Structure 1
Amino acid sequence: MKFQTREPESAAFPLAPMIDVVFLLLIFFIATMQFSQSERELNVSVPVAEEGADARQTVGELIVNVRDNGEVVVDHAVMTQEQLYSKLTRIAAVHKNQAIRIRGDGKVEYQKIVEVIDICQKAGIPNISFATQVQSKRK
């Protein structure tokens, strides 16, 4: 008996689609990095601490800026307390453990910061942190 021998099919891996996916991921991460950095470029001078927290924004973290005149800014929009509460309530309904970072100017009244914390608590967001700068080392 004569058997036919077949050549096995080539096990080539298609690289073109994989390269496309890698470039799309790269573009996505670069774009999201730019958006997260834009919140830090607002005119807010956070207080200085010896043991300042890590300034990097975590994934999905919402930054609430409180300017020295008491204005609350989220996503480049000045908000009233009612607007902030509405926004945070909608976010809390979707993300149960939403992280909020409050960037309060060093010159803002403490009462304004407490009002923002209170709004976060009323909206159902307990995961709150505060932005600080690391104190520069003097020689």
Structure 2
Amino acid sequence: MRIPSRTQDRGFTFNITPLIDVVFLLIIFFLVASHFIRNEHLERIDLPLASQGKDEAESPSRLLVTVTPTGLLFMGTTPILEAEVEQRLQQLIARHGATATELRIRADRTVPYSKVEPLLLTAARNNVTRVRFSVLTE
């Protein structure tokens, strides 16, 4: 007669496979949610094409103004007037200085220059030299 061998009792074990699955699902959820939040605050426009361009990191001293095909100005989804753009620009200058402040213009490719020119003049009046345009690279 054979005596059964005693198996080692390892104690209490955890199966962490479901935990890893849940963590990966949460990571994917937050990545997708942050993408939508980042892109929903901008008006839909057709950006002009450029032969050269580069992506730049977000800056706390950047003022982003969108010019729609109808000539309306937006900051995020909020319509604004040219005077409000100047006020916001002056607030950023007071906090960060004129050399660190940037004006980013997102204008539709069909917008005439006469709609963008007041923004450029506002930047010049306030000594903001960092004016950039959002474009699509070819």
TM-score, normalised via structure 1 length = 0.64
Task: Show CA shifts across 1:27-81 (max 9, x none).
Answer: xxx7987665444x41121101121332x54222321111111111113211111
Q: Does 1:79 align with 2:80?
A: yes
**Superposition RMSD on alpha carbons, in Å?**
2.6
Which residue number corresponds to residue 120 of structure 1? Answer: 123
The runs of at least 4 aligned residues of structure 1 exceeding 3 Å deviation read 30-39
Q: Matched residues in 1 for 2:119 and 2:96: separation?
A: 19
Structure label with greater radius of gyration: 2
Percent of pairs identical after alignment? Answer: 19
Point out where structure 1 has 5 or more consecutive residues left out of the alignment: 1-29
Task: Show CA shifts across 1:72-118 (max 9, x none).
Answer: 11132111111111111111111111122111110001111111111
Q: Conserved in 2, the CA contact under 8 Å of 1:89 and 1:124?
A: no
- Cα 1:118–1:33 change in 2 (3 A) is farther
Q: Matched residues in 1 for 2:38 and 2:131: separation?
A: 17
- Cα 1:48–1:121 change in 2 (3 A) is same
Which residue number corresponds to residue 44 of structure 1? Answer: 45
Point out where structure 2 has 5 or more consecutive residues left out of the alignment: 1-30
- Cα 1:120–1:133 change in 2 (3 A) is same
What code does the residue aligned with 1:44 have?
I
Q: Matched residues in 1 for 2:127 and 2:110: separation?
A: 28
Aligned residues: 106
Equivalent positions of 1:18-57 (< 5 A) are: 36-39=38-41, 41-54=42-55, 56-57=56-57
Which residue number corresponds to residue 58 of structure 1? Answer: 58
Q: SS of 1:63's equivalent?
A: strand
- Cα 1:37–1:95 change in 2 (3 A) is farther
Which residue number corresponds to residue 11 of structure 2? Answer: none
